Amino acid sequence: MFRNEKHQDIRMWLMTCTDYFGQNSWQWEDEAQRIRYAISRMDGKEVAPFALTYRRQMTGEIGYTGQEGYEFWHVFAEQALRRFGPTHEAEKSLRDMGSVKYRRDVAKFLMEMENLNIHARVTAIAWRKMIEDELPIEPLRRLSHREYVDDGEWLEAVRTVTRAEEDFKERIDPRGGGPSGATRGQKRKFEDSKSTVPV
């Protein structure tokens, strides 16, 4: 059932419909029948008005003027993509997320990813995989020891575990710190103290 929820992608849903029709192609030779079936699998306050209006425009029922070509699957798919597909801004954000790299600063990395994801709206397994693909193996191993209720809890664990790993590596490798060999934690304290000095 397509409801245009955060974890759903209209492109994947349409592809699933096409695969389903292909399994019994003899039963779905009538494209209008395909569309009626797809519309019956659309629900929710964001989706139902589109489904109802499209059906009426396809059939010309209840006082609607029938729209030429609306009985063809490719027209239905195009209209659904236009209505529920990712915007240009969302597609750009998704591409940009793929180029964000983790450089031993998990706070900065996650901030960039979360800001871009405001528009891209990636969730669940896809969201976690995008982040995990950039992280070192050590924090990933620690994260795998438990289950997480939702993306928010998992993300907070990523932040905590990876920051601890960063601080540990800087303690054993002073060259990873500043000119004086300070750890990231010490540098953070110093930067915090600077912000409290009156101007």
Q: Residue 71's closest CA among 44, 95, 24, 36? A: 36
Q: What is the pLDDT of residues 126-141, one digit of tens each?
A: 899 999 999 999 999 9
Ordered by start, the domain boundaries in the chain are 10-84, 88-184
Q: Residue 184's closest CA among 161, 160, 168, 162? A: 168
Whole-structure pTM over 0.75, yes or no? no
Please give, one letter per residue, the 3-state secondary structure of 6-38. Answer: CCCCHHHHHHHHHHHHHHCHHHHCCHHHHHHHH
Q: What is the pLDDT of residues 37-63, one digit of tens each?
A: 999 999 999 899 999 999 999 998 877
Per-residue pLDDT of the chain (199 residues; tens, 9 = 90+): 999 887 788 888 999 999 999 998 899 999 999 999 999 999 999 899 999 999 999 998 877 888 889 999 999 999 998 888 877 777 788 889 999 999 999 999 999 999 998 888 788 888 999 999 999 999 999 999 989 988 899 999 999 999 999 999 888 876 654 433 343 444 444 444 544 444 4
